[in-house]
Structure 1
Amino acid sequence: MVEGGSYDTWRAGATIAHRGDRGGLSFSLNRVQTDGFSARAAGTEPDGFEAWQLNFLGEYQATDALTLGLSGFYLDAEGDFDEFGGDGAPPFDEVADTRNRGLRAHAELALGTVTHTLSASYFEADRLFTSNGIDTRFDGTRTRFDYQGVYQQSAAMTFTFGTDWEEETFESGADSGDTETLGVFGELLYAPNDALDLSMSLRWDDHSEFGSNLSGRLAAAYRLSDATTIRAVAATGFRAPSLYELNSTLYGNPALEPEESLSFELGIEHQLGGGSFIEATAFHTEIDDLIQFVTLTSFPLPFTGQYRQVPGTSTSQGIELSGEWVLDDRFTLFGNYTYTDAEDATGAQLLRVPTHNALLGLGAEFGNGWGGDLSVHHVADRAAEFGVPLDDYTVVNAALRYDVSDRVQAYMRLENLFDEDYQTSAGYNASGRAVYFGVRGTF
């Protein structure tokens, strides 16, 4: 794949793979670079970005029962950013250098009705932020071991069980921290008849800083007919604050406590025939002690922020609608809409959760290898951030493609067709009108 376009943006990627009787091996290499645009609305200079990423995956079937695998990646990225007040003071630039790398090894052993999977993984992140000539480092690691067993009791019943252990470390200047989490889980899938599927799961976590927690999930799907299915889910959740949220030099808050949540969903899906369908889901979520990033000083003057706990119970409830209607053999109408009523314990709207989020699109197949789509995305009614109101916005995107052959496709992509001036987060720019051309192929 090769692509180029607005903001002097270039992307390229290639994957090579080989598959044999007992295994396979694949490598992929991706490159992206762009001059970009100013990340901050108050900025005037563009903020560029460039990155290389290498991935590999290998699997080998040592015996009929045993499969071994190894995967990994390496990322080298450099991106410009704007300091809080806008552009940096000359001659200094704000630059973030990132080096991420990871490895995962796994072994799968199939013994009759039980399949065992063992895996070990290691991830390392090194980040260097330079602003006005001052360097700030952030280095983190994550080490993880997993065991999962799957017992196929019958065609109607499957039991999954296992345990995992994870250690995370964090170091930034004089600040550092580490946590360990031990987890045990089990899930039962049961289909008492052709119309009903049931799922029941429990998970116990023991966190080195925040103690133990038990969470669970119940789900059911019932087919009223071949065309109509109703679904229901009830779940509890637990999220400990990350090491960055706790220990970051600029934004960390060591007083943070875990979030706990309770959620419900009820949905229905109906197949209209010919590939057309409609779906509707009602949801309700309660989160105790929600963790959010908040500003501590005025905006848009230079300000500081911190991760803070939202006191009490925050709620998010609403409805999601989605569907696709195949008009004929050339045109397909698709869309989705989400209405969300999200409030904290005081009744104030939660940050960065719009009340209305809608997308409507039309896909087309013109024949002779030509196709394309046009979509309209509208977001409305968002809470002000840092005292700055966020306007509603509507963005139109379009794409055109041509199948040069069975293996090669050329395409053009237009983003923000009418050059809408909008912000997804207060004080931060989004792309203006942009056009990209590319070619992708399989050989």
Structure 2
Amino acid sequence: MTKRTVLLAGVSLALLGGSALAQSQETFGTIELDEIIVSANRAPSEAAKTGSTVLVATAEDLEQAGDIELQDYLARLPGITVSQNGPPGTQSNLRIRGLGLAYIQVRIDGIDISDPTGTQVATNFSNLLVDDIERIEILKGSQSALYGSQAIAGVIDITTKRAAAGEVTQSAHLEGGSYATLNGSYGIAAGFERGEFSLNAQHFKTNGFSAFDEDEYPGAEADGYRNTTLSGRGSFLLTDQVELYSALRYYDTSVEYDNDYSGGANAPVSTDTILFGGRTGAKVAWWDDRVSSDISVQGMQTERKYYTDDVFQFYFKGKRFSIESINTAEITSSLDITVGTNYNKEYAEGTYGLDADMHTAGVFGQIDWSATDVLNMSLAGRLDNHSDFGTYETFRLSAAFNPDYQTTIRSSIGTGFRAPSLYELYDPYAGDSTLEPEESLSFDVGVERSWMSERLSTSIGYFYIETENLIINDAGTAYKYVQVPGTSTSQGVETSAQFTVNDYLALTADYTYTWAVNSDDERLARVPRHDVGLGAVIEPTDNWRIALQGNYVADTLANDGTDLEDYFLLNGNVAYEFDEGPELYVRAENILDQDYQTAKGYGTAGFSVYAGVRAQF
């Protein structure tokens, strides 16, 4: 299928009001589709009127699942996979629809936390914990028209916890278990008549297990990890029309790992990482609240230091500064217009000669049109001027069609681009300053429907993403970055179902098929062809909850082209919540004690048990 074929098909489907089907908001496990979402149109929108694919998860969903690291929760969602080089904290890669972190923009309280010094600019999900998270929106497909470079596979927009008006709440969480793991957090949130603030702290420490698989490297030592994360946010109504807000995020981590260059399975190597980011801005409403403006400034800094035998070896330091404005106007009851601008500058330096910066200035616009009571459409366009590559244009067109209150049909099509990172361009050894940006086209189509008085919900959809001029780290050129001519594609089907059997039992299931290949039609590594999720939540009384989650992954290639073994993981937890008191729980991971790998040669956890207490007061 050529780009022209997909483009014309997508435009025709959207203009016909979704006569074709669009990938719906899936419901898997404890994911629920909220009425209002923000990420899809950069402004609050009704979910049923949004043509793009969005998954939503809440703090309650995260607590029920019991994961410590965010990527472990996300890995069980439709269309998302994670591969990791060993225990918590080690290098990992999260993929949406077959595309990795370099193609996913991640924002926490609006702060872009991707690392400007990375070999490819990407967010380190190994360092993201869950206890301070209030809500996650996962926007799939090429979104460069709204978010700029990097948002090719999608956007993950995370909001931390905040207080309800007139309330002061505190939360505490303590857990311990296998691999000498200890996880604790504390948060306080206060809401006042004209404002609110929240502060959260979490510390996670584990002795871990060997990064290299212990079956292949007998006698391998364990590789530990620690993470201290702090976050805060606040807002204040200066007047009835002006709101001021700020958000901060900080983490300090240290991880041990293995490599063949410094001792193999007993390598005495580690990395310490510190990240600090902040954002502040103002929201202004006028013209009887029919026009709103959001103007913000943000900055972040990250530093990674590498050690051997606790002796410092080298470092990378990166900085980012951004200014953004988003202005939305309600022209009529059926027509909204959004106009935005942004400026982004990144800087990276390292021990071995990396010292470079780049900047991008962009402007975008979007029209949201309720053509009829059952048809809603959105068209967005963007111009970005990059300091190294000049001007790039991107667009997105989407439509949502609601023939009845039980059915939502969606379709979206969009283009995107990813500028090479400072490392890919200017690293003295691996970089190539002649690299050009990658360009992409994304299309999805599907339907969501509820049945049996909304006790059963189902969704099915098709996605297609193609990327031109892929940039890879090539072993054939001694691991330098090169441009691969031609088009790489990732396409597949996402399906899901959620069934509320009765007041005590809810069942879920999902299946994702992904076919991802490069320009030579060779399959991409670490992208499973088949990914199945199963879940059950049993609540026999108001106090007890039992949850089980199963994940079957099959037909995955390793980086060397060999097959990874298929596996099935079963996790579960049992919780008891006292009346107006704390919740006690026990959870288990890999209950069947499966021996498996998500990255060839790297270990994974065996059967593990953890116990904890969670309280709000």
TM-score range, shorter chain: over 0.9
**Judging changes above 3 Å, is the alpha-carbon distance between structure 1 residues 417 and 307 closer, same or farther for their aligned structure 2 residues?**
farther
Give the aligned partner of residue 220 of structure 1.
399
Deviations along 1:405-426, whole A, 9 cap, x unmatched?
3452122221111111111112
Segment drifting more, 80-89 vs 314-323: 80-89
User: Aligned Cα RMSD in Å?
Assistant: 2.0
**Judging changes above 3 Å, is the alpha-carbon distance between structure 1 residues 254 and 432 closer, same or farther for their aligned structure 2 residues?**
farther
Give the aligned partner of residue 122 of structure 1.
299
- What's the % identity of the aligned pairs? 36
The residue identity in structure 1 corresponding to 2:340 is: G
Deviations along 1:381-430, whole A, 9 cap, x unmatched?
12231244311111111111111234521222211111111111122222
Q: Summarize the alignment of residues 191-202 of structure 1 with structure 2, pairs less than 5 Å apart.
A: 191-202=370-381
Deviations along 1:198-255, whole A, 9 cap, x unmatched?
0110111111112211000000010121111111111111111222443456755544
Q: Summarize the alignment of residues 329-368 of structure 1 with structure 2, pairs less than 5 Å apart.
A: 329-368=503-542
Is 1:343–1:350's contact at 8 Å kept on the other side of the alignment? yes
Distance 2:423 2:330 in 1: 40
Give the aligned partner of residue 582 of structure 2.
408
State yes or no: 1:137 paired with 2:318. no
More strand by share: 1
Q: Summarize the alignment of residues 14-413 of structure 1 with structure 2, pairs less than 5 Å apart.
A: 14-41=186-213, 44-84=220-260, 87=263, 93-112=268-287, 113-131=290-308, 133=311, 135-173=313-351, 174-248=353-427, 252-272=431-451, 273-295=453-475, 305-413=479-587
Name structure 2 gaps, 5 residues minimum: 1-172
SS in 2 for 1:366: coil
Q: TM-score, normalised by structure 2?
A: 0.68
SS in 2 for 1:224: strand
Distance 1:430 1:412 in 2: 21
Distance 1:407 1:192 in 2: 50
Distance 2:428 2:304 in 1: 13
Deviations along 1:262-298, whole A, 9 cap, x unmatched?
111111000113432000011111110223445459x
**Judging changes above 3 Å, is the alpha-carbon distance between structure 1 residues 247 and 12 closer, same or farther for their aligned structure 2 residues?**
farther
Distance 1:137 1:250 in 2: 16
Kindly indicate whether structure 1 or structure 2 has the higher relative contact order, using CA contacts under 8 Å at least 6 residues apart: 2
Is 1:36–1:46's contact at 8 Å kept on the other side of the alignment? yes
Is 2:525–2:561's contact at 8 Å kept on the other side of the alignment? no
Is 1:45–1:87's contact at 8 Å kept on the other side of the alignment? no
Distance 2:550 2:306 in 1: 37
SS in 2 for 1:246: helix
Distance 2:469 2:603 in 1: 30
Distance 1:238 1:28 in 2: 35
SS in 2 for 1:188: strand
Distance 1:421 1:250 in 2: 38
Distance 1:180 1:52 in 2: 31
Q: 1:257 offset after TM fit, Å?
A: 2.4
Q: 1:25 offset after TM fit, Å?
A: 1.6
Distance 2:430 2:461 in 1: 36
Q: TM-score, normalised by structure 1?
A: 0.93
Is 1:88–1:94's contact at 8 Å kept on the other side of the alignment? no
Deviations along 1:11-51, whole A, 9 cap, x unmatched?
11111111111111211111110001111225511111112
The residue identity in structure 2 corresponding to 1:13 is: S
Distance 2:222 2:254 in 1: 14
The residue identity in structure 1 corresponding to 2:301 is: E
Distance 1:230 1:114 in 2: 29
**Judging changes above 3 Å, is the alpha-carbon distance between structure 1 residues 77 and 337 closer, same or farther for their aligned structure 2 residues?**
same
Name structure 1 gaps, 5 residues minimum: 298-303
Distance 2:450 2:345 in 1: 45
**Judging changes above 3 Å, is the alpha-carbon distance between structure 1 residues 128 and 248 closer, same or farther for their aligned structure 2 residues?**
farther
Deviations along 1:59-102, whole A, 9 cap, x unmatched?
11111111111211221111111123574598x72110111111
**Judging changes above 3 Å, is the alpha-carbon distance between structure 1 residues 193 and 419 closer, same or farther for their aligned structure 2 residues?**
same
Is 1:88–1:131's contact at 8 Å kept on the other side of the alignment? no
Is 1:359–1:376's contact at 8 Å kept on the other side of the alignment? yes
**Judging changes above 3 Å, is the alpha-carbon distance between structure 1 residues 367 and 292 closer, same or farther for their aligned structure 2 residues?**
farther
More helix by share: 2
SS in 1 for 2:491: strand
